[in-house]
Structure 1
């Protein structure tokens, strides 16, 4: 438990939550201080206004010397009705004698000023805000205690203190909660990656489904793990296929060499055996070269050579070149559908030519005489759809995805020349160009449908 808490304290989410919590608390305290100072100033201003108003009201009772007794009586009434600890009233004549009031005589300058309650004999230690002036030759002093103002300031201050305490608790508690929640998700990512490192390639990072940043990153990591798993599975499958498919030609090569050695010892000409061995070696070398080329294409190294190319021009050239080959095989090959305007895509002309050559050669090789092979190209919304179709025997639906695997060959094709890499190369080139490739049933025959993204403005320039 202690280790888990220490780990949480060291975690980035907790530190970020703590930093933002402290920043929020600091901002709240600054706002509290500013608000308290403004409130304090307003309360002081309100007290001054109250003292001035009271002074004005009392002074207004004096109108002339003839009514001075009424003025003195009015001040005496105010003094009698108010506690000196709350409000003071004092009227002093020119000789310094008290005419009326609820406090002893003291001196004060004209205008507003502040005095201590104890200095004028009033109980308590509060200060008093006073207004002094001369009215009809007499000295009038009116004042109010700061006690109410101090009480309001104290209440406001305590409110701010309690509010700050609540904010601190909520900020720290909420920060810890959200930090622990984020850390739990990061721990899930860590566990998933540890399992993957340990060889469990099927492990994936759990998603919350709320679409936040961690979910986005986790989703991208899951996609990367999917690609990694597919790549590792592909490598495993390729290794098994290489071991399986190359075992026979290597055995044939070994047997040919052994026969040549035996016949050489008998003085027989071994030239035919050596020619057979060279042909077998060339086929094996061609297989490895094709595998290497597919790997280079999948690595994206050829993307640096991408330029704007016309798909229609490439398909037309392939149809023209292989038209005679199809006729010699008793078949027909035609570029049946072609848009009037250029179909520009961003790509490698050599690789795209190889793609259509492989598809046409596959159709010519695996289809019987009288087969019709057609190439078609249609322009769509931001894309071009290229199709290579035939009315031959086709490919069983269960094997249509398998034929894109390296070295995979249909049972009926194992007696024909080839390495099983033609469609793998087609798939690699299509993926490199961002094209979607699907195999469809033509009833009868097979249709290879590829959707290429059209060249965007600014690409390939």
Structure 2
């Protein structure tokens, strides 16, 4: 029997469609989560830089730059100073203190690359700039730590997406094979029926799902079809049995008529008998056909109400003596 290819089967296509929808939903939710995480990390960095700027400017007193310069130099000697930017410049843009010379930036938060401030790197810094007396202070932190967190999150999402796609594909194939195996059972049963094995039935899984309900309906139809075919076989046997005797009598009558005809004897009575036998054969044949049609449900339109009480009274009267 020809089996449908798995990739052409409806269960596999449905499983594939649901798998793709699930993967698409996961990717969309992952993208939204990644963007939210990135925004939160950037917000936390901005808050940290703003606080660091406020702490640094707290060391400044009007007409007293020594504490501010000392604090900036101390921050510049910190082990993580390469991840931070401290720049105090005079109105002419000359560095007074710090580990970088930052060009004039607008007040507030801004992003700047390491090369723009004379550092040999491609790191991006998030900085806060503002006036301190006649001078200008810029404080910032690099985005390397934030980028590391983003890379970890992106790498994790990528691996989860790959595993999700793999599980969806494997699960879709397994579910499709199970559903296709049951559909193949339906096809095999119908092939058996078409080949004359009327006792074949679709196997049920017992889960009472939609395929089981469909299989039950098909099995019921096959059962009715089997009974109908068996009834037709029985009708054929009955016709052959009931017509055998009158056909033999008709044959003998015709043979007698042929013999009389050869002897020049009258054959009218034999012809009349032959006509009567043929009428009886036709009546018997029509009766058997009516019975078979009634059993098959094909003559119910000609049914009429019957007086069962009168019928039973007639039967009782006929068989009372017996």
Query: What range describes the TM-score normalised by the shorter chain of this pair?
Result: 0.7 to 0.9
**Could you say which residue in structure 1 is the equivalent of 2:95?**
98
Displacement of 1:243 = 0.7
Contact 1:97 1:105 in 2 (8 A): no
Match of 1:245 in 2: 242
Q: TM-score, normalised to structure 1's length?
A: 0.60
Instruction: Report the Cα distance in structure 2 between the residues aligned to 1:138 and 1:280, rounded to whole angstroms.
Output: 135
Could you tell me which residue of structure 1 aligns to residue 20 of structure 2? 22
**1:113-192 map, 5 Å:** 113-192=110-189
SS in 1 for 2:51: helix
Residue 362 to residue 297, structure 1, CA distance change in 2 (3 Å) = farther
Task: Please state whether the residue corresponding to 1:65 is helix, strand or coil.
Answer: coil
Q: Tell me, what secondary structure is at the counterpart of 2:236? A: helix
Aligned pairs for 1:28-427 within 5 A: 28-62=26-60, 64-81=61-78, 83-255=80-252, 266-267=265-266, 270=269, 274=272, 280-297=277-294, 351-354=303-306, 360=311, 364=315, 368-369=319-320
Give a deviation string over 1:11-60, Cα, whole Å, max 9, x none: 33333333332333233223322322232223222222222232233234
Q: Report the CA distance between 1:169 and its aligned residue.
A: 0.8
Task: Give 3-state SS (helix, strand or coil) of 2:130's partner.
Answer: strand
Distance in 2 between residues matched to 1:138 and 1:158, nearest whole Å:
44
Residue 9 (structure 2) aligned to one of 7, 11, 17: 11
The CA deviation at 1:261 is 6.7
Higher helix share: 2
| Range that drifts further, 85-94 or 292-301 | 292-301
- Structure 1 pair 368–153 and aligned structure 2 pair: CA distance change class (3 A): same
Structure 2 unaligned regions, length at least 5: none
Give the total of aligned pairs: 319
CA distance in 2, matches of 1:362, 1:295: 28
Given that residues 112 and 132 in structure 1 are in contact (C-alpha distance below 8 angstroms), is that contact kept between their aligned partners in structure 2? yes
Q: Can you give the 5+ residue segments of structure 1 that lack an aligned partner in the other structure?
A: 304-347, 371-391, 393-461
Q: Give the distance between the partners of 2:320 and 2:25, measured in 1 at CA.
A: 85
CA distance in 2: counterparts of 1:286 and 1:359, whole angstroms: 26
Matches of 2:221 and 2:313 in 1, distance apart?
33
Name the CA distance, whole Å, in 1 between partners of 2:259 and 2:309. 40
Instruction: Identify if the C-alpha distance between structure 1 residues 363 and 193 changes in structure 2 by more than 3 Å, giving closer, same or farther.
Output: farther
Deviation at 1:110, TM superposition (A): 1.9
User: For residues 358 and 237 of structure 1, what CA distance do their matches in structure 2 show?
Assistant: 31
Write out the 4+ residue segments of structure 1 that deviate beyond 4 Å after TM superposition.
Answer: 253-265, 276-283, 294-303, 356-359
- Say if 1:93 and 1:298 are closer, same or farther in 2 by CA, change over 3 A: farther
Q: What SS does the corresponding residue of 1:81 show, helix, strand or coil?
A: coil
1:61-110 deviation line (CA, Å, top 9, x unaligned): 43x41554333333333333363321212222334343332323533232
Q: Deviations over 1:231-257 (max 9, x none)?
A: 111111111111112222333444455
Shift of 1:366: 9.3
Q: CA RMSD in A?
A: 3.4
**Quick one: structure 1 residues 300 and 37, their matched pair in 2 at CA, closer, same or farther if it must change by over 3 Å?**
farther
* Greater fraction of residues in strand: 1
Report the alpha carbon displacement of residue 145 of structure 1 after superposing the two structures with TM. Answer: 0.5
Cα 1:87–1:300 shift into 2, 3 Å: farther
TM-aligned CA deviation for residue 178 of structure 1: 1.4
Q: Is the 8 A contact 1:85 1:123 kept in 2?
A: no
2-structure distance, mates of 1:41, 1:134: 28
Q: Alpha-carbon deviations, 1:338-390, whole Å to 9, x = none?
A: xxxxxxxxxx6x62425x569936971896226xxxxxxxxxxxxxxxxxxxx
Q: Would you say the 8 A contact 2:89–2:101 is kept in 1?
A: no
Question: Aligned equivalents of 1:359 and 1:173: distance in 2?
Answer: 72
